[in-house]
Structure formats: C-alpha cells, structure tokens
Amino acid sequence: MRQQQIAIIDYGAGNTRSVGFALERLGVDYVLTDNAEVIRRADKVIFPGVGEAGSAMRKLKERNLHRIIPDLKQPVLGICLGMQLMCTHSEEGDTIGLSILPIPVKRFNSDLKVPHMGWNRLGDLKGKLFTGIQAGSYAYFVHSFYVPMNSYMAATTSYGLSFSAALQVNNFYAVQFHPEKSGDTGQTILRNFIQIEGGEVTKMN
C-alpha cells in the first residue's frame, strides 16, 4: 500500500519543527504547507499552534485557511493553540475561533501561575488517540488558557481545576498538550493518529 500523505499546516504560528521531528522519529514522511489543495488532498492533517490566539487567527485568515480547515474531511489533529483555535471563542484577545468545537476557551484564574508549564497526568482517556495509553500517563503542557470540561472530551487533566486535555468531534481530534514533547506517550499518540481510519505507513516502529 502507498505511504500516506501527512500535511502539517504551516501558517507562521505553529511548532512545526518539533512536530516534524516527532514524525521523522516514527519514520513518517510529511509536508509543511499552507497550500489549500495540498491540505485538502492529504490523508491526515496536523494543525499545530503556539503563541497568541488573535495573531494566529489573523495568520490563518491571511492564507484563507480559516475557511479550509473546518471543511476538512480527513482526520485532523489540533495541537495546543491549534486545539484552542478549533473552539468558538477564546478569552485571549477576545478571539473568534473556527467553531469546529462548540466550546469557549477560558483564561486560568489569576491566582494560578501562568503559563501552566510542565508534566501533567492524563485521565478519563477515550477514543483512538489513546489506544495503548494508560490513565495517569504524563504529557507536557505549556499554556495560559484552557478548554473547560465538556461532552467532547477525550482526556482530562488538572491545574487548579480540572479541564480538557483532549477533544474529539467527528474527524477532528485535538490535544492541549504537546505530543511532540511528551516522550513515549506523545509518540504513541502521534502513531495512533497516523493509523486512524486505515491507511498504511511504512517504517513505523
């Protein structure tokens, strides 16, 4: 079977280098792109994000990607800010999101040190992303805003309060943490994503 085509969306606000390195460790080929047709044709799409929500949305709009991403039919994985931009609205910069997930993004209570940064345990694991992952496994987080508990959760964690560590709706998957920086747990999650809904990837470890 042919090798899958994996597209990492390159819009100037994503942690694309680290994500690319993580895929290389799995023996997976990928392309960094902001080309709408390349993204549409890809078997899987990864939507990373770092930085501030408002500026990231502006960069998506400059490339017309804010219209492309919500209409994708293949599996899509949002990472960190990418997950937050999939939501309806973020308190960071009063930013309107892509509304793929009907959930708002909130700022952590002012009593908590932000950004929330470091290793946190994952709980309440559900769905294909977490195949082979045990509850209590650690993942690496860096963020100042969070997605509250909701019916689309695929994993939870806590920092001052419990919140969503991962989400899923239809073909859209999203994680608040950085799988590319989360050791064996993160590599397993990326491998699971690549293997969702069939397709063959060669050289998988």
- Take residue 113 and report the two structure tokens written for it: 């040190």
Residue 110 belongs to a domain: yes
H or E element, residue 118: strand 116-121
Residue 1 belongs to a domain: no
Asked if 66 is an active-site residue, the reply is no
- Looking at the structure of the chain, the number of domains it has is 1
Set 80, 92, 116, 143: catalytic member: 80
Residue 202 belongs to a domain: no
H or E element, residue 85: helix 81-85
Residue 86 belongs to a domain: yes
Q: Would you say residue 35 has pLDDT above 60?
A: yes
For residue 39, is it left (φ>0), alpha (ψ between -120 and 50) or beta?
alpha
Supply the pLDDT for residue 2: 60
The residue ranking higher by pLDDT, 70 or 109, is 70
Supply the pLDDT for residue 197: 76
Domain that holds residue 172: 6-195
Asked if 80 is an active-site residue, the reply is yes
Note the pLDDT tens digit of each residue in 1-33: 468 999 999 998 878 989 999 999 999 999 999
Supply the pLDDT for residue 107: 96
Q: Would you say residue 198 has pLDDT above 70?
A: no
Supply the pLDDT for residue 110: 84
Supply the pLDDT for residue 204: 30
For residue 183, is it left (φ>0), alpha (ψ between -120 and 50) or beta?
left
Set 66, 87, 143, 180: catalytic member: 180
User: In whole numbers, what is the pLDDT of the chain averaged over residues?
Assistant: 92
Supply the pLDDT for residue 201: 35
Asked if 143 is an active-site residue, the reply is no
Q: What CATH number is associated with residue 61?
A: 3.40.50.880
Residue 138 belongs to a domain: yes
Q: What is the pTM of this model?
A: 0.93
